[in-house]
Structure 1
Amino acid sequence: MYVAVKGGERAIDAAHAWLAEERRGDPAVPHLSVPQIREQMALAVDRVMAEGSLYDPDLAALAIKQARGDLIEAVFLIRAYRTTLPRFASSRPMDTSAMAVDRRVSATFKDLPGGQVLGPTFDYTHRLLDFALLAETGVPPAPTAPAPAEAMPHVTGLLDRDNLIEPEPRCDDAPGDLTRSPLELPADRALRLQSLARGDEGFVLSLAYSTQRGYGRTHAFVGELRIGRVAVEVELPELGFAVEIGEVELTECETVNQFKGSRTEPPQFTRGYGLVMGQSERKAISMSLVDRALRWQELGEDFTGAPAQDQEFVLSHCDNVQATGFLEHIKLPHYVDFQSELELVRRLRAEATAASCPKEAAE
């Protein structure tokens, strides 16, 4: 029997008030400001922007503060806010070869035009707690002057020059937009890359790892990983030319993958690609591995049944906001559903008892 729940509104208001207290923490400790989060938790901010599909470091930092550091909740807040914003223009395709590079490494060539730039990275640090940070003062260090930019062509161009890697797959059709239209399967590569770019980093990382362990046809080298700022340009019909409206930080990864060739194609390397807003090299590398695994059909390869090759599995489960909504709805009231299940189980048990012990049931 269904019984109406009473007093729920007061309980919810109290829960909200308690949540606000928990978010603030000990009042004796200075509050964490949005600029502090933006500047000192930049990688968390970048992840929220990437998975929230909105490039705004201040709003991402605000969402992290409001969500008490729960990045998936922060992504949810950003996506919800983005739906309220008008769309007044679409930018031109960004030229990542003109990127103002902060970090640029290659695992395939040691000497590169423009050189390798280690940049800010944990790759060469010892994974030991730095207790000196506990005694950090609020005095900011002196800023360092940025190094002059140098032309850095893409590494895959070196292989492309000798026809050792497949031509860059191109499509002249306007790409779809997952922020405005729901995903439809089968999805073309543009939509797959969009879905992976805003997918959960942990999920995409796990899929990429599975391809390296043999669940897919991926044995990749990082042709190039670059992080830096790229100009954003918008075509203005009134002017008849493009105008630069700002710049965004991007992480781009191109992987070089083995390919034995086919009856129509000579042996050559193939490509995997990842592009993520902000500094998120783990996500970009993972993207490129999964992208390559999903291209098995267009490259004439066999489907081995690996999860990373199944675009329905990958694209339907990589979105953390969608997954969270479906997962967390089961903690909401399901009293009527459970009562019907409970009644069914009791009836089935009674029938089973009667069938196995007819004499006892008769008594």
Structure 2
Amino acid sequence: MYVAVKGGEAAISNAHRLLADRRRGDRSLPAIGIEQIVAQLGLAVDRVMAEASLYDRALAALAVRQARGDMIEAIFILRAYRTTLPRFGYSKPVETGVMLVERRVSATYKDLPGGQLLGPTFDYTHRLLDPSLLGDEPVDTALERDEPGEPVMRVSDILAGEGLVEDDGNLPEGHVAGDLTREPLEFPMARDLRLQALARGDEGFLLALGYSTQRGYARTHPFVGEVRIGEVEVELDMPELGFSVSLGRIQVTECQMVNQFKGSAKNPPQFTRGYGLVFGQSERKAMAMSLVDRALRAEEFGEDIVAPAQDEEFVISHSDNVQATGFVEHLKLPHYVDFQAELDLVRRMRREYEERADAVMRDAAE
């Protein structure tokens, strides 16, 4: 046993060295820098920040580099680092209604107060490989970076003006928002905790669940009320000063889905909301999150729970890619004793099966 442990230590050390070698790659090529990752692989950086629950582009880029581009490994690394940081307090809720918008589109109203802003998007690009990107991009394609514009009203405010949409997420008096980074999951969950879990959930998993609601696995008929990307101010209350101070601005993506609701004994026919808010430019994630958020509100609206996307325990317990990675990848670790027990059991069952089969054959021959 001692020899095996010593041999394992040497193998692990060599594996780490080999990983570092593969990470660096061809030495004839320049090493990729953190600044390059932040500037040119921004959407990957934004996903890592969102699912690691830590807004820091440089650290997220470092995690991407360290993980050799493996997004879930990078998320794992950054989330682990976040747990080592001191916590000084909780910021005030950000006011997305006064977001300085860079991109804003709606599928419900063509003419919006403040206009529709396409911003940086893949929506109208041809999904064809661009050979010109094999080298440096031509200098004349460079544009001055657009600065966020003025705050603009939400699309949902138009519906609210007619009383055709539910209230915007009012919480009970005295409600204290939970914190999933410090408290274990407990079901059933309040919506604020559920949104926290969805915000740091795996994008691919939420996308699949959101897609399932469109294929009939939930009673929703959504419209994109609005998707907006822009900057919001983060403030921290300072009791000793008697006022809050600004910590700076962060970029976020917000999505509000509006869904038809035929009404119930307690509520009139109206539109209901699904909500998504994530760090950075993460439009697909925010949309998927808002679809799943609305599906998970089925019980709140007296709807039958008939689909996976409506099952809170199923969705929340399986949405965390770090936790899922641990359960799946631990299967690579040694299970020698367990397997030997299983092997002995299968051999014994096989012998008993063959003995029964032989007995049946003898009885048939007689």
TM tier, shorter chain? over 0.9
Paired with 1:121 and 1:307, the residues of 2 have a C-alpha distance of 31
| 1:1-363 superposed matches below 5 A | 4=4, 6-136=6-136, 144=144, 146=146, 149-172=149-172, 173-303=175-305, 305-358=306-359
How far apart are 1:135 and its partner, in Å? Answer: 2.5
Paired with 2:334 and 2:197, the residues of 1 have a C-alpha distance of 31
* Pair 278,140 (structure 1): closer, same or farther in 2 beyond 3 Å: farther
SS at match of 1:122: coil
**Paired amino acid for 2:156:** T
**Paired amino acid for 1:348:** M
How far apart are 1:167 and its partner, in Å? Answer: 1.5
Paired with 1:49 and 1:72, the residues of 2 have a C-alpha distance of 11
**Paired amino acid for 2:162:** D
| Contact 2:100 2:148 (C-alpha < 8 Å) held by counterparts | no
Paired with 1:195 and 1:65, the residues of 2 have a C-alpha distance of 26
Paired with 1:42 and 1:102, the residues of 2 have a C-alpha distance of 15
Paired with 1:124 and 1:246, the residues of 2 have a C-alpha distance of 32
Paired with 1:9 and 1:130, the residues of 2 have a C-alpha distance of 46
Post-superposition Cα deviations, 1:293-323, rounded to whole Å, max 9, x if no partner, equal 00011111122x2000001110010000000
- Size of the aligned set, in residue pairs, is 360
Post-superposition Cα deviations, 1:181-227, rounded to whole Å, max 9, x if no partner, equal 11111111111111111000000000000000110011100001000
SS at match of 1:298: helix
How far apart are 1:342 and its partner, in Å? Answer: 0.6
CA RMSD in angstroms comes to: 2.1
Q: Mean alpha-carbon deviation: is it higher for 291-300 or for 125-134?
A: 125-134
Paired with 1:148 and 1:121, the residues of 2 have a C-alpha distance of 15
| Contact 2:101 2:151 (C-alpha < 8 Å) held by counterparts | no
Identity of aligned pairs, percent?
64
How far apart are 1:5 and its partner, in Å? Answer: 5.2
**Paired amino acid for 1:302:** D
Post-superposition Cα deviations, 1:261-318, rounded to whole Å, max 9, x if no partner, equal 1122221111110000110000000000000000011111122x20000011100100
How far apart are 1:357 and its partner, in Å? Answer: 2.4
| Contact 2:254 2:278 (C-alpha < 8 Å) held by counterparts | yes
| Contact 1:354 1:360 (C-alpha < 8 Å) held by counterparts | no
Unmatched 5+ stretches in structure 1 = none
How far apart are 1:240 and its partner, in Å? Answer: 0.5
| Contact 2:102 2:147 (C-alpha < 8 Å) held by counterparts | no
How far apart are 1:150 and its partner, in Å? Answer: 2.6
SS at match of 1:279: coil
Unmatched 5+ stretches in structure 2 = none
Paired with 1:108 and 1:65, the residues of 2 have a C-alpha distance of 40
TM-score, with structure 2 as normaliser: 0.94
SS at match of 1:7: helix
Paired with 2:140 and 2:54, the residues of 1 have a C-alpha distance of 29
